[in-house]
A and B are shown apart, each in its own frame.
Chain A
Amino acid sequence: MKIGNRIRGPGLGTKLLLWGLVLLIVPWISYRQLVGMERLLIQGQSQAQLLTAEGISTLFNGREDLFNDLPIRIQEYESLYARPLPNPIRIDGKDSDWGQVADKALKFGVDADKHLVDGGFELLLGERAGWLYAFMRIRDDAVVFRNPEYLRLDNSDDVRVNYIQADGEDGRIVLTFAAPGVTTAYHVDPDWKFAVGMPENQVQGHMEPTPDGMNVEFRMPLSMLGSRKFFGLSFADVDDPEARTVRAVTQTLPSAGKTSFNLVVLRSPEVLNIIQGLGYSGARILVIDAQNRVRAETGSFTISEEHEPDTTTWSAAAHRWYDFIRPIVHRLVMWQRWDDDEITEDSEAAINKVIESALRGNPIALRCRVNEQEIIMAAHPIVSRDTVLGGVVVEQNIADILAFQRAALEQVILLSVLSLLVVFIVLIAFAGRLAWRIRELRREATAAIDARGRLRANALSSAMNSGDEIGDLARSVSGMLSKLQQHNQFLENMPRTLRHEINNPLNTLSTSLQNLAEENPAAANSKYLESAKRGVMRIGAIVQNLADAANLEESLEAEELEIIDIERLVENYVANCKVVHRDCQFAFRGAGHPVYARVSDYRIEQLLDKIIDNAIDFHRPNSPIKVQLDQLKDVLRITVANRGPTLPPAAEETLFDSMVSHRGAEVQNRLHFGLGLYVVRVIAEHHGGSVRALNLPDGSGVVVIVQLPLAHPAPTPVRVNGEAANVGK
């Protein structure tokens, strides 16, 4: 048993659980597959976008006309780029609704330090929904408003627009303002002095004074400009309210000697028309020209339906959980960092790189992150003969793919966790049941044989009916037990059988010897006859003792127990010992009061006989044998101590076993079969007590200690068969 405990390893359940961990390979493989699939999808998406870009670009291949609605020698013109405006613009003299475009101002009329001089201005130009918008931040030291009484338009601060009309004629419009607020626009004569016809209602503006001067914001329909979009802008500065002469004109026109118009570069409506139908959800298509200007744009890569924003806290929590778990899982499974090298974080740099590459003639696809969203950018050049006309950029939000991947991953994780849980529970249950059955079997098998090696049961009850290996084990153990029991029974019956069988021939021998002595008086006195008789007696005694010991437990069962005073019993016993064993000294120390126990009195006497015999055999001559009775908490203790040889170290365990004698050669004066102390133990245990033998602490002898449970005396006077007083001699 001890050895078994020492080499005990992990239990069956633990082992099964460990093996169950092998199941983790399922989610592991799933995750790897998922990552592979994700890559494939993204790659496929990139390819598809490149194809889309290529397809779109083929629509424009060779269509110089679409791009060259501008003069080819574009360098000759000071071009003004009207940027696409993201928001609807309110004409109110404030640039807050211009968005990013507000930062892209061009300066006109600057000194050497690039500071605006008096009359200089910053210009923003944008277009949206068929309108051309302009925003001017004008520096003017003295603002002179128009006096409506004057007919001339050039005697106050004004903004002049010159352009080529759709019909090819020159167009001139002056924006004047009599007070801060709405401006009035007029077509004017070539000298910019008098209005021609009625005010132009299509050109709407607003003037707003500022500390430095004023802001003028206005818009005009692009249709007024015709297809060529020559357009110029100037500010006439009048500073003296009395003289009202134009002090300076700051214009967008280049220096003298060049043409008198700027070129307004716009997205080409034709190009837009072509790509308009190609846009799809989550994708943005841009067409750029060789000068890196956006000529057309359709769609938006922001997801329009926005994935049903996480309204429920559950899904929000799930997504947070996902964002948290994904890098860990990725790292665990792929042995790589979660950060994806392929993603360019800087979207500006990404788009520049894409466009640059396309304009050099190389198709390219890139992934980048914009506002927490991942997009793929694909660009393909538009070529005409050998020149690159521009490029097509297709930007696609891949949130769909990521969402799909996330859903799949969530499913994989959920399924894995669930299936692992289920498998674990099943395994635990199975292992627990198995372990329980084995433990039960072990418990029963252990209980079948008691501490003394006696058989307590001849069959097992647990697991006997199950058809598996444990059942087989139980049946075979049970079979072993019943065979063992048969053998044990044979052994137990042996002394009785032996006595039966031996007593008859012994009787023959004994009676024959007696008859022999009778018949032959000469032989009667022979010492041989005497020794033969002694031998016969001795065999009889041996057989008798063996049979008694073998029957002891059985006869104890038949014994009636009664509550008696052990104090008087032992006292009486020791007093009688002094009479019987005159050559020994006995000392008795009692508890000093009645000590009751439920016993069979003459079995206790027998027990004391055996212990005292033992003590007498081993005691050193002239040393007293000390008998003591103590009452402890709920047991009484009888100790018999004698001086003399000590017990060998190993003897304490086996001393009280049957047929064990630790007598040395020095004591051989009687019949000894090692049954005496065995009888003591059986009697003590039958009374619910115990016995042990110890060496005295000083090594001078041995003490035998018997403990018996106390009993409460019966309320009526207890009948005691023994009386200590007046021992008859």
Chain B
Amino acid sequence: MAKRIAIVEDDPDQRANYRDAITKKGYDVASYASREEALNGIERQMPDLAILDIILGDEVDGGFQLCRDLLVRAPTLPVIFLTERIGEIDKISGLRLGAWDYLPKPISLDYLAERISSLLRINEVRNAASAKDSSTARRIGDLTLDQEALLVSWKNQPINLSGTEFRMLAKLVRVPGHAVSYETLMNATMQSLVTNNTINTHMRNIRKKFEKIDPDFSCIKSEYGYGYRWSAQ
């Protein structure tokens, strides 16, 4: 059975574009123009993944509200924000609400499809992993990285990273001790418009999440003018 994807976007052209592209990838797509409409649709059938815009018509924070409602009904539902609101504050609030990822417009449809499939797979893996122990996990020192389930833990304490952050971290630790360039990290974000600044912001957020559970964390090093490096503590 095809996975069901819900798209909430008030702009009809973009909505249609998403729908067409994702439908072509073999998903069952339900697209809505407003929060009301989306809630009604979801009442009828719960999707497997939701893509939300934040500004929905006249509701400036319509997407956030919708995300809250959805997660109340299905706490494990992967939610992706796809928005033109790329301010840091919006991004943080979106992720805090429990969204898995936060993608700024303009978006590459290929990347979007890739993300969808990866998130769906991860969700499956996570659901399965709750039953049996994870075997796909990789250990680098105190870091445990389960690429399949998108799960990260540091010194056995789980760290909640967004999809983008997880991919960047995964790229960083692929060969520990080697510097990873900005460019590589940009590709890992799977976004179309990325600057060094965006990378720095992501890296800082990742660092902060580690430091929260381990104030002495210092494995992520800056390679000024080049990129970042993971070095064992």
B218 partner residues in chain A, CB cutoff 8 A: 719, 721
Which B15-74 residues have a C-beta within 8 angstroms of A?
Answer: 17-18, 20-21, 24
Other-chain contact of B21, A511, A572, A580, A608 (Cβ < 8 Å): A511
Do residues A544 and B195 form an inter-chain contact, with CB atoms below 8 A?
A: yes
Query: B85 near A: Cβ within 8 Å?
Result: yes
Does B11 have its Cβ within 8 Å of any Cβ on chain A? yes
- Measured CB to CB, the closest approach of chain B to A500, in angstroms, equals 5
Question: Considering residues B179, B195, B225, which has the most beta carbons from chain A within 10 angstroms of its beta carbon?
Answer: B225
CB distance A608 to B225 under 8 Å? yes
Q: Which A residues touch B110, using CB under 8 A?
A: 514
Select which of B14, B24, B204, B231 is within 8 A of A518 by beta carbon.
Answer: B24
| Residue among A507, A508, A537, A605 making CB contact with B224, cutoff 8 Å | A605
Contacts of A19 in B (CB 8 A): none
> Across the interface, which residues of B come within 8 angstroms of A575, CB to CB?
225
When distances are taken between beta carbons in the complex, the residues of chain A under 8 Å from B109 are: 511, 514-515, 518
Q: Whose C-beta in chain B lies nearest to the C-beta of A536? A: B106
A555 to B204, CA, bound (A): 14
Q: Is B193 an interface residue (CB 8 A)?
A: yes
Chain B residues whose C-beta falls within 8 Å of the C-beta of A548 in the assembled complex: 195, 197
Q: In the complex, what residue of chain B is closest to A558 when comparing beta carbons?
A: B88
- Decide yes or no whether B117 CB sits under 8 A from chain A: no
The answer to whether A510 and B107 have CB atoms under 8 Å apart is yes
From A507, A510, A606, residue with most partner B Cβ within 10 Å: A507
B182 to chain A, nearest CB (A): 9
For the complex, give the distance between the alpha carbons of A611 and B20 in Å: 45
Interface contact B197-A727, CB-CB below 8 Å: no
- Closest A residue, CB atoms, query B10: A504
Q: Is A729 an interface residue (CB 8 A)?
A: yes
With A and B bound together, what is the CA distance between A569 and B221 in angstroms?
Answer: 12
Q: How large is the interface on B (under 10, 10 to 19, 20 to 34, 35 or more residues)?
A: 35 or more
Most chain A beta carbons < 10 A, residue from B108, B196, B204, B222: B222
Query: Contacts of B11 on A, CB cut-off 8 Å?
Result: 504, 508
Q: A499-B84, A721-B222 are in contact. Are A606 and B107 (CB under 8 A)?
A: no
Cβ-based interface call for B178 (8 A): yes
Q: How far is the CB of A535 from chain B (nearest CB, A)?
A: 12
Closest Cβ–Cβ distance, residue B63 to chain A (whole Å): 14
When distances are taken between beta carbons in the complex, the residues of chain A under 8 Å from B86 are: 499, 503
Quote the shortest CB–CB distance from A572 to chain B (angstroms).
5
State the CA gap A541–B198 with chains docked (Å).
13
Which listed residue, A504, A509, A514, A572, touches B225 by the CB 8 Å rule? Answer: A572
Q: Which residues 176-233 in B have Cβ within 8 Å of A in the complex?
A: 177-181, 192-193, 195-197, 200, 204, 218, 220-226, 229, 231
Give bound CA distance, A17 to B39, whole Å: 81
A576 with B223: CB separation less than 8 A = yes
A680-729 contacts to B (CB < 8 Å): 719, 721-723, 726-729
B91 close to chain A: CB less than 8 A? no
Residue A506 at the chain B interface, CB threshold 8 Å: yes
Assess the A601–B106 pair: CB atoms within 8 A.
no
Does A500 lie within 8 Å of B84, measured CB to CB?
A: yes
- In the complex, what distance in Å separates the CA atom of A579 from the CA atom of B197? 20
Which A570-606 residues have C-beta < 8 A from chain B? 570, 572-577, 579-580, 601-602, 604-606
- Assess whether A507 is in contact with B226, with CB atoms less than 8 Å apart: no
| Contacting residue for B14 out of A500, A504, A577, A604, CB 8 A | A504
- CB of A609 within 8 A of chain B? yes
Chain A interface bracket (under 10, 10 to 19, 20 to 34, 35 or more): 35 or more
List CB contacts (< 8 Å) of A431-476 with chain B.
Answer: none
- Known A-B contacts A499-B84, A515-B17, A728-B179; A540 and B193 likewise in contact (beta carbons under 8 Å): yes
State how many angstroms separate the Cβ of A338 from the closest Cβ of chain B.
89
| Chain A contacts for B192, CB-based, 8 A | 510, 537, 540
Instruction: Tell me whether A576 and B224 are in contact in the complex, defined as CB-CB below 8 angstroms, given that A512-B13, A514-B110 are known contacts.
Output: yes
Asked if A721 and B200 sit within 8 Å, CB to CB, the answer is no
**Interface flag for B105 (CB, 8 Å):** yes
Judging by beta carbons under 8 Å apart, are A569 and B106 in contact? no
Report the nearest A residue to B229, measured CB to CB. A728
Please give, as numbers and ranges, the residues of chain B lying within 8 Å of A570 by CB-CB distance: 224
Contacting residues, chain A, for B193 (C-beta < 8 A): 537, 540-541, 544
Closest A residue to B230 using CB positions: A728
- Are B108 and A507 touching (Cβ within 8 A)? no
In the complex, what residues of A have CB within 8 A of residue B104's CB? 503
Cross-chain contact B13 with A508 (CB below 8 angstroms)? yes
Contacting pair B21 A514 (CB below 8 A): yes
Give the chain B neighbours of A579 by CB distance below 8 A.
226
A479-508 to B contact mask, C-beta < 8 Å, 1/0 = 000000000000000000001100110111
State which of B85, B223, B231 has its C-beta within 8 Å of the C-beta of A500.
B85
How far is B86's CA from A554's CA once the two chains are assembled, in angstroms? 15
Known A511-B18, A601-B222; contact A606-B85, beta-carbon cutoff 8 A: no
Q: Are B84 and A721 in contact (CB under 8 A)?
A: no
Partner of B106, one of A507, A577, A723: A507
Question: A577 touching B225 by the CB < 8 A rule?
Answer: yes
State A609–B231 Cα separation when bound (angstroms): 24
Q: How far is it, in angstroms, between the C-alpha of A514 and the C-alpha of B222 when the chains are bound?
A: 35
Report if A506-B197 is in contact (Cβ < 8 Å); known contacts: A511-B18, A511-B21: no
Taking a contact as CB atoms under 8 Å apart, the answer to whether B21 and A518 are in contact is yes
Q: How far is the CB of B226 from chain A (nearest CB, A)?
A: 4
Asked if B222 and A511 make an inter-chain contact with CB atoms under 8 angstroms apart, the answer reads no
Task: Specify which chain B residues have a CB less than 8 angstroms from the CB of A558 in the assembled complex.
Answer: 88
Separation of A580 and B226 alpha carbons in the complex (Å) = 7
Using Cβ atoms and an 8 Å threshold, which residues of chain A touch B88?
A: 555, 558
A729 to B84, CA, bound (A): 36
Using known A-B contacts A507-B14, A510-B106, A728-B178, determine if residue A580 contacts B220 with beta carbons closer than 8 Å.
no
A507:B84 contact, CB within 8 angstroms: yes
Give Cα A569–Cα B226 distance, bound, in whole angstroms.
12
CB-CB < 8 A to B177: which residues of A?
726, 728
Cβ distance A197 to chain B, nearest Cβ, rounded Å = 151
Q: Are B105 and A605 in contact (CB under 8 A)?
A: no
Known A514-B21, A515-B21; judge A606-B178 contact (CB<8 A): no
B21, B108, B110, B224: residue with the most chain A Cβ atoms closer than 10 Å:
B224
Q: By the criterion CB–CB under 8 Å, are A608 and B224 in contact? A: yes
Chain A, residue nearest B175 (CB):
A728
Structural contact, A576 and B226, CB atoms closer than 8 A: yes
CA distance A504 to B14 in the complex (A): 8
CA distance A573 to B229 in the complex (A): 14
CB of A609 within 8 A of CB of B21, answer: no
Contact between B197 and A512, CB atoms less than 8 A apart: no
Chain B residues whose CB sits within 8 angstroms of the CB of A499 once the complex forms: 84, 86
CA distance A537 to B226 in the complex (A): 23
Chain B 155-184 interface residues, beta-carbon cutoff 8 Å to A:
175, 177-181
Question: Which A residues touch B13, using CB under 8 A?
Answer: 508, 512
Please, how many angstroms separate the alpha-carbon atoms of A601 and B17 in the complex?
A: 41
Residue on A nearest B180 in the bound complex, by CB = A728
CA distance A606 to B177 in the complex (A): 23
Given that A507-B14, A515-B20, A540-B193 are contacting pairs, would A727 and B107 also be in contact in the complex, using a CB cutoff of 8 Å?
no
Pair B222/A506 contact, Cβ less than 8 Å = no
Partner among B84, B181, B220, B224 whose Cβ is within 8 Å of the Cβ of A601? B224
Please name the residue on chain B nearest to A577 by beta carbon: B225
Extra pairs beyond A507-B106, A605-B196, A729-B179 (14, CB < 8 Å): A500-B84, A508-B13, A512-B13, A514-B109, A515-B109, A518-B24, A536-B106, A537-B193, A540-B106, A540-B192, A540-B193, A544-B193, A580-B226, A719-B218
Q: List 18 A-B contacts (CB under 8 A).
A: A503-B104, A508-B17, A509-B106, A510-B107, A511-B14, A511-B17, A514-B110, A515-B109, A540-B106, A572-B223, A576-B224, A602-B204, A605-B200, A606-B197, A609-B225, A722-B223, A723-B229, A726-B177
Please give the residue numbers on chain B whose beta carbons come within 8 Å of chain A beta carbons, in ascending order.
11, 13-14, 17-18, 20-21, 24, 84-86, 88, 104-110, 175, 177-181, 192-193, 195-197, 200, 204, 218, 220-226, 229, 231
6 closest A-B pairs by beta carbon, nearest first, are A728-B178, A576-B226, A503-B84, A728-B179, A511-B17, A576-B225
